[in-house]
Amino acid sequence: MSKIKKITFLLLFPFIAHFIISCCDCVEPLIYHFTHKTITINNLDNAGSEPVVSSASSIIKTAYGIRIEVDREKTACTEPARSLFIQSVYARKCNCPPLMQLTPKDSITAIKIVTLNDFDSNHLANTEISDYFKVYKPYSFVTIAKYLQSSKNILYDESELGMKIDLLLMTTPTMNNQHTFKVQITLSDGRIFEPETSIELI
Amino acid sequence: MNKLFFASLISILLAVDSYGQDSTRFKPYKSILQTRPTFGLSLPLTKLLKGDVTDYLLAYDDQTYYWQIISATLFFHKHWGIECNFQSGSSNRISKRGDKFLQAMQSEYGKDYYVTPSTGASYNDLDMLGGNVGRGLLGVIYRFESRRFLIYPKISMGYTSFYKDWGKAYLKEKNSNNILEVSYSENGPENYFTTAAAVTFGYKLRKRLFLCADLMTSYYKTNVLFTKTTENLASGQSITEGSRYKKNIVNQSLGVGLIFVMNNGHR
């Protein structure tokens, strides 16, 4: 009887082994780097149901915002880590990792918004008014500092390389109608981008 | 309603034709175990709903139709017995309340805001067994029977239950960066202790099949609190206000159905 059991086990062993291996046959993820390439800003008109980029010369001041568009570029691929003893790092785990991982070579460390015109009595020309803006994602507002703390560093799809940050003006100006804003973006590798945008706030 | 009545009448006649064996023997007080499927209307003597938007977050209606699938009566004495039953109720208003809530939020705030409403009421499907308003009762029943007619007065107690849902709307102010979140949260029990007095009138169609009509008055006290929170998402400032549904509810139910005698004794 015990011989029959042994023979049966030996006959079934390849099928059982194949079943276990096929379940855990994960493809090693390709790990890329990405770098911040260009940064542009546009005026946002939030008078409607959602903020839209506007090329108009004037926008209602209670519905004004700035959109920062960051173009990030994929760079070299690095070799995935391999185990010495087993073929797959993820052996015995059937929840395979994403096929691609994009890790940053550099990141945004600071965003400052500077008014180039007198904004109100406390914020004259060439002073920072970052506190007057909040980062908006439907339906939540966070300060710029909190946004930078919480923004994720590792991406899992190339479509995530294009990044948009909507900054909405939460305190309206009391001086002047014509305004120019400089957005100073500092990267971790020392690069600083300083795009500007002008608008008449009515 | 007329269609429903005639459909039930035809069903009864068919059942009469096929059920029962000896139409000549209608000795009173013989049945021991009965089951009594019925359907009917539950009408309000006092109303819970008050015309607020939060009415749509209650899976409740003052006037409902009901069906009673589960019912058992056990007579342990010539006159006395115990009865338990479960009634399920619903109405058109209950089934459409999700859409009604969305419309109400739109009409209340749509002039000044772009409204994005949502509610848990949109996901509530009707449970054919439990209905939207459930009522379970256990009571004492007394019976008077002649050869053809019967009257069963009874008193019972149990519970009435109905669901409550959350509601929410994001309000994007027109021509502004301002966004408000209006949310309704509910608090309160789902089951309410219920007392009921009822009487069943019947006519014996066959030895084991009776036609019956139910009349029941029930009482329970609700205590539901909806809290409305209006929060400015940019500043984080919020205002809360409550809307309480604390009322003594008295309902009058009218129903018709059949009594099936499951077990006859030898008294």
Cβ–Cβ of B179/A141 closer than 8 Å? yes
pLDDT for residue B123: 87
- Express as a percent the part of chain B with pLDDT over 90: 80
Distance from CA of A11 to the nearest CA of B (A): 51
Cβ–Cβ of B170/A139 closer than 8 Å? yes
Helix%, strand%, coil% for chain A, nearest 5: 20, 45, 40
Chain B neighbors of A136, CB-CB under 8 A: 177
Mean pLDDT of A20-34: 74
pLDDT for residue A89: 46
Chain B neighbors of A138, CB-CB under 8 A: 170
Instruction: Write the pLDDT tens digit of every residue in B159-169.
Output: 999 999 999 99
Instruction: Write the pLDDT tens digit of every residue in B45-85.
Output: 999 999 999 999 999 999 999 999 889 999 999 999 999 99
Distance from CA of B182 to the nearest CA of A (A): 12
Q: Are B143 and B79 in contact (CB under 8 A)?
A: yes
pLDDT for residue B221: 97
User: Which phi and psi angles does B10 have, rounded to 5°?
Assistant: -65, -40
Mean pLDDT of B177-201: 96
Cβ–Cβ of B114/A49 closer than 8 Å? yes
DSSP-assigned letters across all residues of B237-266: -EEEEEEEEEEEEEEEEEEEEEEEEEEE--
Q: Using 50, 70 and 90 to split pLDDT, how confident is the model at B21? A: very low
A119 CB near a chain B CB, below 8 Å?
no
Cβ–Cβ of A50/B179 closer than 8 Å? no
Distance from CA of B69 to the nearest CA of A (A): 46
Chain B residues whose C-beta is within 8 A of a chain A C-beta are 114, 116, 170, 172, 174-179, 181, 233-234
Mean pLDDT of B131-149: 94
Spatial distance between the Cα atoms of B150 and B211, rounded to a whole number of angstroms = 10
Which residue of B lies nearest to A59 if distances are taken between CA atoms?
A: B175
pLDDT for residue B1: 45
Q: Are A112 and A145 in contact (CB under 8 A)?
A: no
Distance from CA of A156 to the nearest CA of B (A): 30
The tokens for B41 are 């209307």
**pTM (two decimals):** 0.81
A 10 A CB-CB count for B246 gives 11
More confident residue, A135 or A15: A135
